[in-house]
Amino acid sequence: MRFVYTSAPSRIVFGEGRLGDIRDEIKRLEIRRALVLSTPTRSGAANELAATLGDAVTGVFAEARMHTPVDVTARALEVVRRTNADGLVAMGGGSTIGLGKAIALHTDLPQLAIPTTYAGSEVTSYLGQTEAGKKTTLSSPKVLPETVIYDPELTAALPAKVAGPSGVNAIAHAVEALYAEAANPITSLMAEEAIRRLARSLPDVVQTNGAEARADALCAAWLAGVCLASVGMALHHKICHTLGGTFDLPHADIHCLMLPYAAAYNRDAAPEAMSRIANALAADDAPGALRALSLKVGRYANLKDFGLTDADLDCAADLAVQAPYHNPRPVDRHGVRAMLAAAYDGAQP
C-alpha cells in the first residue's frame, strides 16, 4: 500500500454557543482591527457581531456575492487598505467565506471563518473566482482560514430550501474525494462517514430543523470539506463551476442537482468509490440513491427549471472540457453533453 495524505492546518472550534468564544479566537490570531464580511442579506447579523466585538473591529463589508466576482474583491481590498484592517472575520456561507479567501490571497491576512451553511469551503485551500462570465479555481495555502468556529445554533435560521442543497454540496466534496487523483485510505474512510452522516441528518434538517440533526450535518460537512482539501476535485466540481460561474446559477442548487449525474458519468470507471457511496447511503446503486436524496432535500428537479437552453448546454460542454480536472473516466465533450442533457430533462441517472 502506497499513498500520500496531506492534512490542512486549521483550528476547529465546534459546538453550540461557541460563537461566544470569538473574542478569544481573534486574540489568538493577534487580530486587533478585524474587517467583518457578509452578504447583503446577512448585513444585520454582521453588524451585530461587529458591535459585540467593539474596538476589535474596524468595519463591516457586506457586499459578498456568489461565485466571488473579482470586482467585489477589488472593492473589499480598497476597504481593507482604507481601514488598515489586520484580519478578517467571515460570517456566512460559501459566498462570504470565498470573499475572505480572495482578500487573503492578495494580503495574507489571518482569517476567522464562521460558517452558517454546510458549504465546507472554510477548511479548503481552494478559491473559485468569477470574471467576465468565467469561473476559475486556484489552490493556495494563503486562502485557508486559520480558525473556523462551527456553531450549530447559527444554522437554526437557515431555510430548508437552502439547508438541503447546501448539505448535498457537502456530500459532493466527499463523493469526489473517493475517486480523486490523490484518494487514499484515510480520506476514503472520512468521506464515507461524511456521506453517511449527511444522508442521515439532512432529511431531518429539512423537515424538522432539529438541533441534533443540524449539529450532525455541520460536523459531517466539516469532515467532507477536509476530504476535498486533502485530495482534490473532479468532473462534478468542474461542471458545477462552469454552470454556476457562466450562467450565475445558485451554487448549492447546481451541486445538488448535478451530483447524481456526475456520479453516473463515473460509475463504471470508479467501482470501489461507487460501492462506498452506495454503502453509506444504504442502497444498491450510488447515482440512483444520490438522485433520490437530491429530490428529497433539494429545490430543483432538472436543469430546465434554471431557465437554461440547448445552446447553454452546448456552451457549458465546451467550457467543461477545457483544462479538465482529473477524473476517473476521461472527460470528453460527447459524454459531458449527454450528462447535461440527462440533467436537463431530469432523467434517472
Q: Are residues 220 and 75 in the same domain?
A: no
Q: Are residues 189 and 332 in the same domain?
A: yes
CATH classification at residue 252:
1.20.1090.10
Taking CA atoms, 344 is separated from 22, 176, 278, 290, 339, in Å, by 44, 22, 24, 17, 9
In a domain, 3, yes or no: no
pLDDT of residue 288: 98
pLDDT one-digit tens code per residue, 280-317: 999 999 999 999 999 999 999 999 999 999 999 999 99
Instruction: Give this prediction's pTM.
Output: 0.93
In a domain, 1, yes or no: no
In a domain, 286, yes or no: yes
Instruction: Specify the DSSP element, H or E, that contains 319.
Output: helix 310-320
In a domain, 300, yes or no: yes
Residue type, 185: P
Q: Are residues 316 and 181 in the same domain?
A: yes
- Tell which residue, 145, 139, 138, 94, has the closest CA to residue 119: 94
Q: Are residues 317 and 220 in the same domain?
A: yes
Q: Are residues 105 and 209 in the same domain?
A: no
Instruction: Specify the DSSP element, H or E, that contains 136.
Output: strand 134-139
- What's the domain range around 322? 160-345
Q: Which of 120, 155, 190 is the last residue of a domain?
A: 155
Q: Are residues 165 and 296 in the same domain?
A: yes
pLDDT of residue 123: 94
The rounded distance, in Å, linking the Cα atoms of 54 and 213 is 33
pLDDT of residue 9: 79
Q: Which of 139, 155, 171 is the last residue of a domain?
A: 155
- 105: cell is 490571497
- 177: cell is 474525494
pLDDT of residue 46: 96
Question: What is the number of domains present in the chain?
Answer: 2
- 71: cell is 470586482
The rounded distance, in Å, linking the Cα atoms of 332 and 202 is 33
In a domain, 6, yes or no: no
Q: Are residues 27 and 86 in the same domain?
A: yes
The rounded distance, in Å, linking the Cα atoms of 105 and 143 is 5
pLDDT of residue 140: 93
Q: What are phi and psi of 336, to 5 degrees?
A: -65, -40
Q: Are residues 151 and 188 in the same domain?
A: no
Q: Are residues 64 and 168 in the same domain?
A: no
Residue type, 1: M
Q: For the chain, which residues score pLDDT lower than 70? A: none
The rounded distance, in Å, linking the Cα atoms of 337 and 318 is 9
pLDDT of residue 236: 95
CATH classification at residue 124:
3.40.50.1970
DSSP assignments along 37-104, one per residue: E--GGGHHHHHHHHHHHGGGEEEEE----TT-BHHHHHHHHHHHHHHT--EEEEEESHHHHHHHHHHH
Q: Are residues 136 and 279 in the same domain?
A: no
Q: Which of 155, 182, 207 is the last residue of a domain?
A: 155
In a domain, 2, yes or no: no
Q: Are residues 137 and 193 in the same domain?
A: no
In a domain, 144, yes or no: yes
Give strand ranges (E) for the chain: 11-14, 34-37, 57-61, 87-92, 111-115, 126-131, 134-139, 147-150
